[in-house]
Amino acid sequence: MKVIITGATGMVGEGVLFECLDNTAVSEVLVIGRKHCGLTHSKLKELIVKDFSEVKNQSDMLTQYDGCFFCAGVSSVGESEESFTKKTFDFVVPFASSLAEINPALTFIYVSGNRTDSTEKGKVMWARVKGRTENALMKLPFKGQYNFRPAIMTGSKGQKNVKMLYKIMGPLIAPFISAKTLKLSVVGKAMINAVSKGYPTQILEVDDILMLAK
């Protein structure tokens, strides 16, 4: 299969990219981003854009792909609901809508978050915004659309884009959090399998991701 990845210069996207480059089921990876991901590989192609709306001009290229793994995102720390909405909902949904117009045969996977609020009415701001984002994505006419809700994730060997704070604090706080820890290689495998095999539900919690990765 051929897949698209966004957010490859972040921890999640880089980990998923590593798995896609190593996995024999993937023949080509197109990284879409505002800067180079810093890797070279025989499977890897890059599309550098100033703004993600530019994908509308790449319809001929994007019809060739089977899946898109949307791993780009920002932390909600220090953000108002308005600003976080602009950097989340207003960033993801227009991009996905353009892809759905160009290539409805695509499977689109969005990395959301554990405890995302599907009702869009809860007290936690980021959870409402991500719930609204998930709900909008599920309405798009893709062949398949899945929302991954991981909790704590650990990087793969050789990753550069892992924040030092996460390296230190992740292992320390993991025993005190009920959600299971996911390796990014497992997240990547689950995404690949979602494209090839599908899954019964569009929202995947940690146990669903583990099951799909098998």
Tens-place pLDDT, residues 22-72:
999 999 999 999 999 999 999 999 999 999 999 999 999 999 999 999 999
3-class SS at 93?
helix
- Tell me the domain boundaries of the chain: 2-212
Q: What is the pLDDT along the chain (214 residues), one digit of tens a residue?
A: 999 999 999 999 999 999 999 999 999 999 999 999 999 999 999 999 999 999 999 999 999 999 999 999 999 999 999 999 999 999 999 999 999 999 999 999 999 999 999 999 999 999 999 999 999 999 999 999 999 999 888 877 776 766 544 444 455 445 545 457 899 999 999 999 999 999 999 999 999 999 999 9
Rounded to the nearest 10 degrees, what angle do helices 125-137 and 89-102 cross at?
A: 10
Distance CA 26, CA 11 (A): 20
Global confidence as pTM: 0.91
Nearest-CA neighbor of 204 among 116, 124, 129, 143? 116
Distance CA 160, CA 38 (A): 10
CATH number of 2-212: 3.40.50.720
Distance CA 36, CA 46 (A): 7
Distances (CA, A) of 74 to 87, 168, 210, 212: 7, 20, 24, 26
Amino acid identity of residue 183, one-letter, is K
